Structures are given as structure tokens and as C-alpha cells.
């Protein structure tokens, strides 16, 4: 893979992101490149000063191509493979975020807190449950940062892993803040509570989904392509086992 090739790909990617290329042409280009090339080209754009959030403007065709990658990746790896476990955890986390959105919507619709409002109390319980699980995702991030990313970095994929680490650091205090907010013994000021809840939920909802999307469709496929030695995957698995799993990890659930 030559430097010129990646540079050219980065130019095309930028044009696609700006909407300067027809959907048909974009589909043809993106359908024909590998995840490693995509990853390296995006890394090149970041090096050129393109902001990570600008790369989020992936067009519809790009999304279609990439969503298919996740399903393919699950088929190619199978249960027990570190990437399969990480993708399965993402599925669970996306489910938690959906519950969180619904419960927060109900809470925000209430003008006042009332002990007798069973729906409200159930929604608050749901939020507490989700918040606990989101804090549990730290073990998922730790497996990424300490088992998977170093092996990718050894293959020269350093830009995307750096961004993922920054996003973990950014999300960590917000997940804790949600847990602390919802774990308070009593809600003193319901309006204030709703305001803080709304801010944290929308921040986590958008950014964690975006983070998962990037990992599922760009980072993990790139890892699968770049790490070809079975013994390296064995090492990643062994290190992952040492770090441990979340209480909701499929196959590792804690009753």
C-alpha cells in the first residue's frame, strides 16, 4: 500500500464527505476499498488537520457499506473471539441507550416529582439500572485500550486508536455523573434535576452511539484485517480474560 495511494484515497474521502461526489460513484469507491485503507486514509486526513467531527459527516452510502461490515465481522469471527465479544457488548450498550432515552423522556415530561407517580418511579429505576451498566462499560474500554489497541498500534494504526482513547476519557466522567445524579437519595429540586439529566443523557446518547459506530465500522474491521497472526489474537484474548468482562457481556452475565 503506497503513500500516494493512501493520499489519493484521502482526497476522494474528503470529496465524498463534502458531498462533491455522486452517491453512485461514492458507493463504487467505498465498496472497493478495504477497512485498513479506509482507516489509514482517515488517519491521513486527521494528520492534514481535518477535525475528527468533520469525519463524522459520512454519507448515506458510506453508512450502508459500513453497517454491512459489522455483520460480516460477526460472521467471520464468531463467539469467543475478542472482536465478537466487543461487538456483542456494543449491541447491549445500544439497547441500554434506547432504554435511557425512553425513560428520560418520561421523566422530562413530568411537571413535578410525586411519590405516587409509579411510571415516573419506574423510569427513574430504569435510568439507575442503565447508569450502573454504563459505568460497567469501563471494563469494555479497558479491554480495548490495553488488549486490542496496542496490537493495532504495533501494526501502524495509531490515529484512530488515539481518538478512541480520547473519547473514552471524555465519556468516563459523564457516565459517572449520570450514576451519581440518579443515585442521590432524594431529588431536592426537580427542575434542576431534569435540566442536568437532559444534558447528560443527550451528550452520552449522541457521543457513545457515535463512538460505537466508529469502532464497529472502522476500527474493528481494520483490526481484523491488520492482525493476521492467530497467536496475536490469542494474546489479545488472554489479556482480555485477565482484565475481565462486564456484568452484561453475552456469555459472561452475572446473575
Binding site for Fe ion (CB under 5 A): 144, 164, 215
Based on CB atoms, which residue is closest to Fe ion, 62 or 139?
Answer: 139
Tell me the CA distances in angstroms from 253 to 22, 26, 42, 250, one per residue in order: 46, 42, 36, 6
Let me know if 166 is exposed, middle or buried by CB neighbors in 10 A (0-12, 13-18, 19+).
Answer: exposed
d(CA 108, CA 161): 36
For residue 227, which phi and psi values (nearest 5 degrees)? -95, 100
How long, in residues, is the chain?
255
Q: C-beta of 185: minimal distance to Fe ion in Å?
A: 32
Nearer to Fe ion among residue 194 and residue 211 (C-beta): 211
What cell numbers appear for 249 in the block?
457481556
State the minimum distance, in angstroms, from the CB of residue 77 to Fe ion: 15
Considering the complex, state which of residue 27 and residue 160 has its C-beta at the smaller distance from Fe ion.
160
Q: How far is the CB of 86 from Fe ion (least distance, A)?
A: 6
Residue placing its CB nearer to Fe ion in the complex, 120 or 171: 171
Please report how close the Cβ of residue 187 comes to Fe ion at its closest, in angstroms. Answer: 32
Give the three cell numbers for residue 228. Answer: 493476521
Q: Which is nearer to Fe ion, 17 or 137 (CB)?
A: 137
Measured at the alpha carbon of residue 180, what is the angle toward residues 141 and 197, in degrees to the nearest 5? 95
Nearer to Fe ion, 107 or 219 (CB): 219
Residue number, 27 or 82, with CB nearest to Fe ion: 82
200-to-90, 137, 147, 176, 254 alpha-carbon distances in Å = 20, 17, 29, 10, 27
Taking the complex as a whole, the smallest distance from the CB of residue 137 to Fe ion amounts, in Å, to: 8
CB of residue 215 vs Fe ion: minimum separation in angstroms?
Answer: 5
Distances (CA, A) of 41 to 131, 135, 150, 206, 210: 36, 33, 20, 25, 19
Least distance from Fe ion to the Cβ atom of residue 211, Å: 6
Residues 6+ apart with CB under 8 A from 7: 44
Amino acid at each position: 500500500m503506497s503513500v500516494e495511494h493512501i493520499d489519493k484515497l484521502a482526497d476522494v474521502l474528503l470529496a465524498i464527505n463534502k458531498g462533491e461526489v455522486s452517491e453512485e460513484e461514492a458507493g463504487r469507491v467505498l465498496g472497493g476499498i478495504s477497512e485498513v485503507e479506509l482507516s489509514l486514509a482517515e488517519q491521513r486526513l486527521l494528520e492534514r488537520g481535518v477535525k475528527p467531527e468533520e469525519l463524522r459527516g459520512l454519507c448515506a452510502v458510506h453508512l450502508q457499506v459500513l453497517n454491512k461490515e459489522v455483520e460480516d465481522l460477526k460472521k467471520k469471527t464468531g463467539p469467543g473471539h475478542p472482536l465478537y465479544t466487543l461487538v456483542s457488548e456494543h449491541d447491549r450498550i445500544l439497547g441500554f441507550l434506547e432504554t435511557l432515552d425512553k425513560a428520560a423522556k418520561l421523566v422530562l415530561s413530568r411537571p413535578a416529582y410525586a411519590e405516587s407517580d409509579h411510571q415516573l418511579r419506574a423510569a427513574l429505576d430504569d435510568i439507575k439500572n442503565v447508569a450502573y451498566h454504563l459505568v460497567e462499560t469501563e471494563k469494555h474500554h479497558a479491554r480495548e485500550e490495553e488488549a486490542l489497541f496496542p496490537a493495532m498500534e504495533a501494526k501502524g494504526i495509531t490515529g484512530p486508536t488515539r481518538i478512541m482513547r480520547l473519547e473514552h476519557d471524555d465519556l468516563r466522567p459523564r457516565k459517572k455523573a449520570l450514576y451519581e445524579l440518579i443515585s442521590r437519595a432524594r431529588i431536592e429540586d426537580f427542575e434542576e434535576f431534569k435540566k442536568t439529566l437532559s444534558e447528560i443523557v443527550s451528550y452520552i446518547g449522541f457521543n457513545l452511539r457515535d463512538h460505537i459506530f466508529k469502532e464497529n465500522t472502522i476500527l474493528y474491521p481494520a483490526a481484523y484485517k491488520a492482525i493476521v497472526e492467530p497467536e496475536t489474537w490469542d494474546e489479545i484474548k488472554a489479556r482480555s480474560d485477565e482484565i475481565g468482562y462486564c456484568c452484561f457481556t453475552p456469555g459472561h452475565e452475572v446473575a
